[in-house]
Amino acid sequence: MATTRGYKYHIYPNAAQASCINKTLGCCRFVYNHFLALRCDEWNANHVSIRYEDTSRLLTEMKRREETSWLKEADSMALQEALRNLDAAFQKFFQKLARYPRFKSKRRHQQSYRTRNQKDGIRFDGENHLRLPKIGSVRIRKSRDFDGRILNATISRTASGKYFVSLCVEEDVAFAPCGTGKVGIDVGLKEFFTDSDGRTVANPRILRKYQRKLAREQRCLARKMPRSRNRDKQRIRVARVYEHIGNIRRDFLQKLTTRLIDENQVIAVEHLQVKNMLRNHHLARAISDASWSEFFRLLEYKTAWRGASVLQVDTFYPSSQTCSCCGHRNPITKDLSIREWTCPVCGAHHNRDENAAKNILARALGQTG
């Protein structure tokens, strides 16, 4: 099956290459912010909308001016991609899919730019080097191989100063077939999820595990003098703790979702409005640490690859209150402290989360049947 996939690698640029990457990041940020301000001013003054083609022409003129001739030092395709990103941000705003575009900050946690593969400008030089436009041959940790055509590359710098490249590759992939089971999943905070077969997966609570270490490093950061070298060193230490937490969380979610799809053809989940749930200040940190949105996102694209399906049940379906045996709705189970209950009609004894998972599966299969 022909598909587009991303491959992310750790790269190790030398001092000159790192300087070139940082310069390109700054130029892309400048171009984005400059033309965002231009489009805003033109609309406020004359109610005229500037298109991507107009900004591309103006960028060419800027490179010819003496005061902005330094833009020539950056990758020209990366600057064009910055303009395309700006235009896409406006299009999403007009379609009411995102808020109004905002200016990019130099102090964002992660900086990145995208460049296209023209005339085989992005290619591997041997086993451990990758050639990138304007940067040259950079050392890379090639953790995975692929057999396909590179469409573009996104070079990023993390808050801790590490560099990565993400290659967008068009390739023909023969995915392993998924399992044949059908399972319903009820996510939670105490247990990451409980399925309709009664199995549970413990919530790793990664942020809570590293909370004391993170707080200690943040207290050290707060004591440093502003704009000092010691403060910058401490900022990197804090960033490394955050990166470690994120890496552990991604590893857990990737392995868990892959295992689910290896075993099941149909996975039923509840459609949760996670963004709205985060407004609960008592549970916001725990919900963020669980990363339900990322879990559902991984399930969506992995099932699409392997021919499985994710079925969603309505947000307000009372899965925890309904008896999975007879269908009786028990209102006293609205109290979240009730973890087990007995149906007053049929006498079936239920574990709250397992019962909810069974109801989610039955409801999802009923909707498609």
Tell me if 84 is assigned to some domain: yes
d(CA 145, CA 66): 44
d(CA 117, CA 136): 13
Tell me if 279 is assigned to some domain: yes
Show Cβ contacts of residue 33 under 8 Å, excluding neighbours closer than 6 positions: 103, 104
pLDDT score at 126: 84
Same domain, 101 and 191: no
DSSP 320: T
Domain final position from 172, 196, 219: 172
Domain tally, the chain? 2
Q: Which residues are catalytic?
A: 186, 270, 353
pLDDT score at 248: 96
Tell me if 234 is assigned to some domain: no
Same domain, 158 and 189: no
d(CA 313, CA 196): 14
Domain final position from 153, 172, 191: 172
User: What's the pTM value of the predicted model, to 2 decimals?
Assistant: 0.88
Cβ neighbours, 10 Å, residue 227: 7
Show Cβ contacts of residue 149 under 8 Å, excluding neighbours closer than 6 positions: 117, 169, 170, 171
Tell me if 125 is assigned to some domain: yes
Q: Give 267-311 pLDDT, tens digit per residue.
A: 999 999 998 999 989 999 999 999 999 999 999 999 988 889 999
pLDDT score at 369: 47
Containing 169, the helix (H) or strand (E) segment is: strand 163-172
- State yes or no: pLDDT of 19 exceeds 70: yes
Average the pLDDT over 145-170 and give the result: 94
Phi then psi for residue 236, to 5 deg, are: -65, -40
How many CA atoms, within 13 angstroms, populate the side-chain half-sphere of residue 188?
18
Same domain, 158 and 33: yes
d(CA 179, CA 203): 24
Phi then psi for residue 331, to 5 deg, are: -70, -20
d(CA 201, CA 203): 6
Average the pLDDT over 86-110 and give the result: 91
Same domain, 138 and 281: no
pLDDT score at 1: 66
Q: Give 26-56 pLDDT, tens digit per residue.
A: 999 999 999 999 999 999 998 888 999 999 9
Same domain, 116 and 61: yes
CA dihedral in degrees (249, 250, 253, 258; nearest 10)? -150
- pLDDT level of residue 368 (50, 70, 90 thresholds): low
Same domain, 63 and 144: yes
Q: Give 58-79 pLDDT, tens digit per residue.
A: 999 999 999 999 999 999 999 9
Tell me if 252 is assigned to some domain: no
Same domain, 190 and 112: no
d(CA 160, CA 232): 10
Same domain, 154 and 198: no
User: Looking at the DSSP assignment, which residues form a beta bridge with residue 13?
Assistant: none
Show Cβ contacts of residue 184 under 8 Å, excluding neighbours closer than 6 positions: 195, 196, 268, 269, 357, 358, 359, 360, 361, 362, 364
Q: What is the domain range of residue 19?
A: 2-172
Tell me if 268 is assigned to some domain: yes
Same domain, 156 and 284: no
User: Tokens representing 4?
Assistant: 């587009």
Given strand 163-172, what is the order of strands in its sheet? 111-116, 148-157, 163-172, 2-12, 136-141, 129-132, 123-124
Same domain, 198 and 100: no
Same domain, 126 and 194: no
Q: Report the chain's mean pLDDT, rounded to a whole number.
A: 92
Same domain, 33 and 154: yes
Q: Give 224-260 pLDDT, tens digit per residue.
A: 999 899 999 999 999 999 999 999 999 999 999 999 9
Average the pLDDT over 4-8 and give the result: 92
